[in-house]
Amino acid sequence: MQKIIPSALIILTATILTACTHSDSSFDEQDGLSSFNKDSLAQHIITLASDQFQGRRPFTVGETKTVEYLTNTLRSLGVEPGNGNEYFQKVPMVEITPTCDPSMKVESARGNFTLKNMDDYVIWTENTDSIVSLNSEEVIFAGFGIVAPEYNWNDYAGLDVKGKVVVVLVNDPGFSLIDSTLFKGKEMTYYGRWTYKFEEAARQGAKACLIVHNEAAASYGFNVVQNSWGKSQQHLDTRGKEYRCAVEGWLTEPAAKRLLNTIPDGETLLAKANQKGFKPVLLNLKVSTSMKVKAVFNESKNVIGKITGTKRPDEYIIYTAHWDHFGIGKPDAKGDSIYNGALDNASGTAAILEVARAFKTMKNKPERSIVFLFVTGEEQGLLGSAYYAQNPVYPANKTVANLNIDVINNFSPTKDVSIPGGEGQSELEDYLKKELDKKGRYIAPEAHPEAGHYFRSDHFSFAKVGIPALTIGGGIDAIPQGKEYGQKQQELYNDNFYHQTTDQYDASTWKLEGGLEDTILLFQIGKKLAFETTWPQWKEGSEFKALRKNN
Ligand SMILES: [Zn+2]
């Protein structure tokens, strides 16, 4: 007993010390909360998702109107310009339309054959040369195409792939074995995401990178690949700054097997790739194909506003939501061709405008600076946030946290919220948990850890440069209807509204109470951070921990 007393004292002292992270008593739990109301939230959504905004595609009239609306709203709220005297950051982009040869010629010692464009493979380019081609290039099967020192894994070890075509598998070795000791087991690490595969192949100097599609490992069918690529696509303008493979793309699994079978037992390599020490294999074949490229350069805009902190103005909390959507596209059966993107992501954009308004109404002004960043080009591949992360207005090592929202709940309050990708990345999750506890709410377990949801919205661009980043997703445990009802609502959205012309505001069915509560959560977390001197960290085992620069 005697020995316990002093250590109990130490624990008590330590508790007091960690509890006293507010630099003074100006933090007020209730401050700013009274400004939140769902009509104001709805009004922003109605405007941004109206047909006049034409689906908010970058480079269009829809962009001009959206940027103007966001800028005017920030100004009228009294939020300062976030980039010098300007409310925007220019984002140089390029729209690339490839016209591919109808087929790819394969020459091998076991005979020649062709693969069919769009049926057997889908390819594109980020190069802006007028013609991009593969001319009898050698092909290497490089397993998962992963270089991960922390897992002691290197699929490119001792290999020179410069100028060659690499074929790699989607996801990571942990998924295919469902072995919790490999990588993160079933949970997809960033090494499993398709964007990583192209980035790593480019770092290795490959000329082309083709990913073998597998529905379970990719978590979507080849039809999604066919619908998403092989047509006009926007990219960041990286001319002269960054090497990308000339050709990027996906192969169906049967097409990949035909390539692999140019060597004896080639097909078995698909299963061998998840064994430690797997060595890449040069296939006995050469491939040729080409595409004509139309490139249109243009500038899009991230919109950015700021409230300067009263005590630590050079420390920043950055809220993000993407303002863009798909614009005008293929008409649906009713002839509607406007992709209004009311939930995705007029709703998140509106939520951050409401957060900005709440911060402005606070009696005690935030001690750290609060930045509101509305990014462009998310639907084209997180372009606006990636550009910001690479060209930050505020230094990454002075950025305390990124809080992101992409789609809010529009059906009912819920007991739970989700963290896309699951828990375990950063201490921001502990802040979220504390706020949820106060309301008797909780974090729902991630239903599809293999899908890599953490890597699919703009907070991920911040994570990639080491800034702790949190995005919150809606829950399903509806009050009072329960989980089954909530699950059903989510399925309805995925099937009937997600990335379709039908994603429109509907006053007769939308209920924004739940979305408003989740918005308030994000506000409370940012407010707490704004009065603290602490720096939330990445958790042990997060692939982003090593990227955090000292602050
Ligand atoms: Zn979105």
Read off φ and ψ for residue 136, nearest 5 degrees.
50, 50
For ligand 1, the distance from its centroid to the CA atom of residue 323, given in whole angstroms, is 9
Same domain (yes/no): 333, 255: no
Residue-level pLDDT at 369: 98
Q: Which residues pair with 316 in a beta bridge?
A: 369, 399
CA distance 122 to 289: 12
- Tokens at 16, concatenated: 């007091």
Query: What is the pLDDT, as a whole number, of residue 456?
Result: 86
The dihedral sign for the CA sequence 45, 49, 50, 54: positive
Of 237, 270, 296, the residue that ends a domain is: 296
Instruction: Give residue 124 CA to ligand 1 midpoint distance, Å.
Output: 23
Ligand 1 center to 406 CA (angstroms): 5
Give the span between the Cα atoms of 339 and 330, in whole angstroms: 9
The residue among 267, 296, 325 that closes a domain is: 296
The more confident residue out of 239 and 124 is 124
Distance from the alpha carbon of residue 302 to the mean position of ligand 1, in angstroms: 15
Are 57 and 100 contained in the same domain?
no
pLDDT at 177 over 80: no
Q: Does 9 map to a domain? A: no
What would the 3-class secondary structure string for 336-365 be?
CCEECCHHHHHHHHHHHHHHHHHHHHCCCC
Distance 490 CA to ligand 1 centre (A): 15
CA of 197 to the centre of ligand 1 (A): 22
Residues 126 and 30 in one domain: no
Write down the residue that tokens 């008593």 correspond to: 25
Q: Is the pLDDT of residue 164 over 70?
A: yes
Contact by Cβ (8 Å): 360, 78:
yes
Gap from CA of 456 to ligand 1 centroid (Å): 9
346 C-alpha vs ligand 1 centroid, how far in Å?
A: 9
Q: What are the CA-CA distances from residue 85 to residues 81, 146, 247, 317, 369 (Å)? A: 6, 43, 40, 20, 16
Query: Are residue 153 and residue 39 in the same domain, yes or no?
Result: no
Local structure of 267: helix, strand or coil: helix
Q: Cα(498) to centroid of ligand 1, in Å?
A: 9
- Going from the Cα of 461 to the center of ligand 1, the distance in angstroms, rounded, reads 14
Question: Is 18 within a domain?
Answer: no
Ranges 5-9, 118-122, 334-338, 473-477: which has the least confidence: 5-9
Span from the CA of 457 to the centroid of ligand 1 (angstroms)? 7
pLDDT digits (tens, 9 = 90+) for 27-68: 899 999 999 999 999 999 999 999 999 999 999 999 999 999
Same domain (yes/no): 327, 219: no
Q: Compute, in angstroms, the gap from residue 380 CA to the centroid of ligand 1.
A: 10
C-alpha of residue 283 to centroid of ligand 1, in Å:
40
Q: What is the pLDDT of residue 422?
A: 84
- Same structural domain, 202 and 108: yes
Instruction: Clarify whether residues 288 and 313 are in a common domain.
Output: no
* Cβ count within 10 A of residue 545: 16
Does the pLDDT of residue 333 top 70, yes or no? yes
Look at residue 178 in the predicted model and tell me its pLDDT: 65
Ligand 1 geometric centre to CA of 376 (Å): 11
* Predicted confidence (pLDDT) at residue 176 exceeds the cutoff of 90: no
pLDDT band at 316 (very low <50, low <70, confident <90, very high): very high
Q: For residue 455, what is the DSSP state?
A: G
**What is the whole-number distance in angstroms between the Cα of residue 262 and the centre of ligand 1?**
42
The alpha carbon of 324 and the centre of ligand 1 are apart by a number of angstroms equal to 8
What was the pLDDT predicted at 6?
Answer: 38
Predicted local confidence at residue 228, as pLDDT: 79
How much is the average pLDDT of 326-347? Answer: 93
Of 296, 330, 358, the last residue of a domain is 296
> What is 288-333 written as a DSSP string?
EEEEEEEEEEEEEEEEEEEE--SSEEEEEEEEEEE----EE-S--T
The answer to whether the CB of 63 falls within 8 A of the CB of 71 is no
Tokens of 368: 């750290």
User: How many Å lie between the centroid of ligand 1 and the Cα of residue 377?
Assistant: 10
**Residue 344 alpha carbon to ligand 1 centre in Å:** 5
For residues 290 and 318, state if they share a domain. Answer: no
Band (18; pLDDT cuts 50, 70, 90): very low
Domain that holds residue 114: 96-296
Average pLDDT over residues 244-272: 94
CA of 322 from ligand 1 middle (Å) equals: 7
Predicted local confidence at residue 2, as pLDDT: 34
Judge if 455 and 525 occupy the same domain: yes
Give the separation between CA 128 and CA 394, rounded to whole angstroms: 31
Task: Report CA(379)–ligand 1 centroid distance (Å).
Answer: 7
Q: How far is the CA of 404 from the centre of ligand 1 (A)?
A: 11
Which pLDDT tens digit goes with each residue over 381-426? 999 999 999 999 999 999 999 999 999 999 999 999 999 988 999 9
Residue 211 is predicted with a pLDDT of: 97
Kindly give the distance from the C-alpha atom of residue 343 to the centroid of ligand 1, in angstroms, as a whole number: 8
116 CA distance to ligand 1 centroid (A)? 32
Q: 268 C-alpha vs ligand 1 centroid, how far in Å?
A: 38
Distance from Cα 277 to the centre of ligand 1, integer Å = 39
CATH number for the domain that contains residue 180: 3.50.30.30
Same domain, 332 and 353: yes
458 Cα to the center of ligand 1, angstroms: 9
CATH number for position 360: 3.40.630.10
Q: Exposed e or buried b for every residue in 343-353, given b needs 16+ CB within 10 A?
A: bbbbbbbbbbb
Q: For residue 16, is it within any domain?
A: no
CA of 364 to the centre of ligand 1 (A): 33
Backbone phi and psi for residue 477, each to the nearest 5 degrees, phi listed first: -80, 80
Quick: pLDDT tens for 292-312: 999 999 999 999 999 999 999
CA of 288 to the centre of ligand 1 (A): 37
Q: What is the DSSP letter of 133?
A: E
CB 222 within 8 A of CB 250: yes
Evaluate if residue 124 carries a pLDDT over 80. Answer: yes
Give the CA diameter of the chain.
Answer: 84
Cα(311) to ligand 1 centroid in Å equals 34
Ligand 1: distance of its center to the CA of 246 in Å?
28
CA 409–ligand 1 middle distance (angstroms): 13
Quickly state the pLDDT bin for 477 (edges 50, 70, 90): very high
Characterize the bridge pairing of strands 113-116 and 103-108: antiparallel
Q: Which residues lie at CB < 5 A from ion ligand 1?
A: 344-345, 406
Q: Is 50 contained in some domain?
A: yes
Tokens of 32: 């700013």
The string of pLDDT tens digits covering residues 491-541 is 999 889 998 999 999 999 999 999 999 999 999 999 999 999 999 999 998
Give dist(CA 374, CA 250) in Å, integer.
Answer: 31
State how many domains the chain has.
Answer: 2
The CA 35 to ligand 1 mean position distance, Å, reads: 26
State residue 15's pLDDT score.
42
Report pLDDT digits (tens) over 194-210.
999 999 999 999 999 99
Three-class secondary structure of residue 190 per DSSP: helix
pTM (2 d.p.): 0.89
Residues 82 and 100 in one domain: no
Residues 489 and 426 in one domain: yes
Asked if the structure places residue 6 within a domain, the reply is no
For the four alpha carbons of 66, 71, 76 and 77, in that order, the dihedral sign comes to positive
